[in-house]
Chain A
Amino acid sequence: MNPDSPLLRIRELNVSYAMRRLPGSSQKRVQAVRSVSLDLHRGRVFGLVGESGCGKTSLARAIIRLVKPDSGSVHYRDFDLSQADAPRLRQARREIQYLFQDPLASLSPRRSIWQALLEPLLHYRIGSPAGHRARVEQVLEQVDLSADVLPRYPHELSGGQRQRVALARALLAEPALIIADEPMSSLDVSVQARMLTLLRKVQKENGLAFLFISHNLAVVQQLATEVGVMYAGELVECGPVDVLLHNPAHPYTRTLLDAVCKPGNGELPALEAGTPPAPLHLVPGCPFHNRCPHVMEHCKITHPHDNFLATATATGGKHIARCHLWNS
């Protein structure tokens, strides 16, 4: 397999959820992810940002098939996860580890940290039983925890420690890709900063790829090499982090950047009102057209397609915007 080919290749992925059907009405579906394509590369961090309800988590869950996509493909290494047989799916799920927002909810309250950390080694039959203790301690050290935590239970640890246990458990499965879904948002600033430093270190040391999901652009900038912006289920723009933050092409990315309270200026961002469209009542044309300052007539009618932009980038990454402004 070509080493330059992406580790994970997502093409035209659609995810929808069935609404509860009321008697006498037809089945309604909520489109959570709409035709998303993106590539994740080995050893790189892709930051996925967007407001709540934009489909970030649905996309992440569809990758590891926690929800079944309606259509589209997810290729991991050289096989299609939707067609994969059980052993291959199992292998992919070992190599793609998921870090959840709330570590307390993802650790069993009745199992000690030692039991929780032993689980991936036993489940995936990694190493010999004699070496398990040494391996667990080695990974604990990597996440700045001492072996003292092993006999303890999740409720005895602080939020930051729990999130590090969750990270250690993910690392024990020897992943190639970690999907981290808002891993910082339940942590305090001072703890969050240490977690960010730790994630960066672990990512570099292990040569991991990350899909890092966050609503906070400033946090994403700390880690990511590329950034994708989602709005109403669509990936409206993606590109290298410096390009996206300096030269955003999509008006929504600009809105998002303007909304962040920036250091030093002591001023509130100016913002026009408006909220994302409800997923059940999607507007025709571009989903952002009712809030967009650059809206044109055909934005209201025609759905925009992905435009590849020739923005000069230091890293040479692709810069894509799903916006009519960039139609050639």
Chain B
Amino acid sequence: MSPTPQDPVLAVQDLRVTLPSRHGRLAVVDGVSLELRAGEILGLVGESGCGKSVTGAALLGMAPGPSGQISSTSMRLGDLDLAQLDERGWRRVRGSRISMIFQEPLTALDPVFSVGNQLLEVIRRHRPFNRRQARTAAADTLASVGFADWERALRCYPHELSGGMRQRVLVAMAMVCHPQVLVADEPTTALDVTTQAQILRLIRDLARQSGTAVLLITHDLAIVEAICDRAMVMYCGRISEEGPTHSLMHYPSHPYTAGLSAAMPRLSPGRVELVKGIPGSVPGPEQRPAGCSFSNRCERADDLCRSQVPLLRSADPAMPAVAHRHACHHPLAHAIDSATA
């Protein structure tokens, strides 16, 4: 059966990542399900410690530390069952079918090898190319990420490049084998605004051209709004709300999404909209409240919230097919208005 454009490239059900603690195993990622389609950009938003980076790494079979454990009810990349892969199998997948871009390009690149060396290593590992073919592939990729003088770029060492250029090299290394899925973990956080815009544009254009599905991990809602088709908001290891970007940003139904949105300063010509913080702070993994993990910071919380974990469900009960879903016992009302409108 050939895949249709509607079929997800990557489908993960009930992903859990656990770490040992004094009170037994602790779930830093607690039942995350996601689907990615070809050419789609999915944003994964949340504050530090919410488990978004751990989720991203788990999609490449990388657990946080030797004692971390990844489990899921199903994890499929096209026709490949990722859940069954051993470490050898993962090594064939990483960098060729699923690849990753990290936040800090200088630590992701090896300082003692040239850019060409590191880029060719990826190609040699995954493709049966000879020297000349590998070089051509490297050159093509470098050109596609904006290096006009790719000959020189191949000879450069990481310290000779600017932050933006280094991030372009990482994008090139991630894309050189035309992966089906790209996990980009805060790819622009270490960069200046002008460079950030260039790298975001590059990632989006490459995703559209090559059909690579992108999971973009970020703490910045403005980035989500600018380039993501859909987004998921994560809080304390769980998805609190997900939906098409427009619907999520304009009609957030989870109080946490609304709070994040109100806390983000937005550059607006004219009257300044003053930001509003969320009281309290993200609880550590051992201090999470029972029930809804946001209940200790939420104005709408009641006894139900403090005792029962809310499940992810459609924001509009009348239209369960609507992709906008939230995990909240007392969602904000306007989401339902908007879905029916």
Contact = CB atoms under 8 A, between A and B. Distances in A.
A275 B162 contact: yes
Interface string A174-197: 000000000000001111111111
Contacts of A217: 193, 267
A258 B220 CA distance: 17
A191 B49 CA distance: 13
A140 B68 CA distance: 40
B201 interface: yes
B198 A273 contact: yes
Contacts of B222: 260-263
A233 to B, nearest CB: 15
B225 A190 contact: no
A275 B195 contact: yes
Interface string B192-227: 111111101100100000000000000111110111
B193 A262 contact: no
Interface stretch (A21-29, A165-173, A264-272): A264-272
Interface stretch (A112-120, A131-139, A218-226, A319-327): A218-226
Contact of A259 (B194, B221, B246): B194
B225 A266 contact: yes
Given A215-B193, A259-B197, A271-B197, A193 B262 contact: yes
A219 B195 contact: no
Interface string A122-162: 00000000000000000000000000000000000010100
Interface residues of A, number: 43
Contacts of B221: 189
Interface in B248-297: 259-260, 262-270, 272, 274-279, 281-282
A190 B277 contact: yes
- Contact-residue bracket for chain B: 35 or more
A271 B198 contact: yes
B233 to A, nearest CB: 12
A37 interface: no
B164 A192 contact: no
Interface string B156-174: 0000001110000000000
Given A191-B277, A194-B277, A221 B265 contact: yes
A181 B306 CA distance: 40
A273 B202 CA distance: 11
B265 A260 contact: no
Given A188-B219, A190-B259, A271-B198, A221 B267 contact: yes
Interface string A251-295: 000011111111110111101011100000000000000000000
A269 B195 CA distance: 11
B262 A268 contact: no
A216 interface: yes
Given A218-B265, A263-B222, A266-B245, A271 B194 contact: yes
B338 to A, nearest CB: 15
B267 A257 contact: yes
Nearest to B225: A266
A306 interface: no
Interface string A221-245: 1100000000000000000001001
B186 interface: no
B267 A218 contact: yes
A219 B265 contact: yes
A267 B204 CA distance: 11
Contacts of A95: none
B193 A256 contact: yes
Interface centre among A188, A193, A216, A261, by most chain B C-beta atoms within 10 angstroms, is A261
A91 B36 CA distance: 61
B140 to A, nearest CB: 19
A281 to B, nearest CB: 13
B260 A189 contact: yes
Contacts of A102: none
Contacts of A266: 225-226, 245-246
Contacts of A262: 222, 266-268
Nearest 8 Cβ contacts at the A-B interface: A194-B277, A193-B263, A193-B277, A51-B192, A261-B222, A218-B265, A190-B278, A193-B275
Given A189-B264, A221-B272, A275-B162, 19 more contacts: A51-B192, A189-B219, A194-B278, A196-B265, A196-B274, A197-B274, A215-B193, A218-B265, A222-B275, A256-B194, A259-B194, A264-B225, A268-B197, A268-B201, A268-B226, A269-B197, A269-B226, A271-B198, A275-B194
17 contacts: A158-B281, A192-B277, A193-B262, A193-B263, A193-B276, A257-B267, A259-B193, A259-B196, A261-B197, A261-B223, A262-B266, A262-B267, A263-B222, A266-B225, A266-B226, A269-B226, A273-B198
Interface of A: 51-52, 158, 160, 188-197, 200, 215-219, 221-222, 242, 245-246, 255-264, 266-269, 271, 273-275
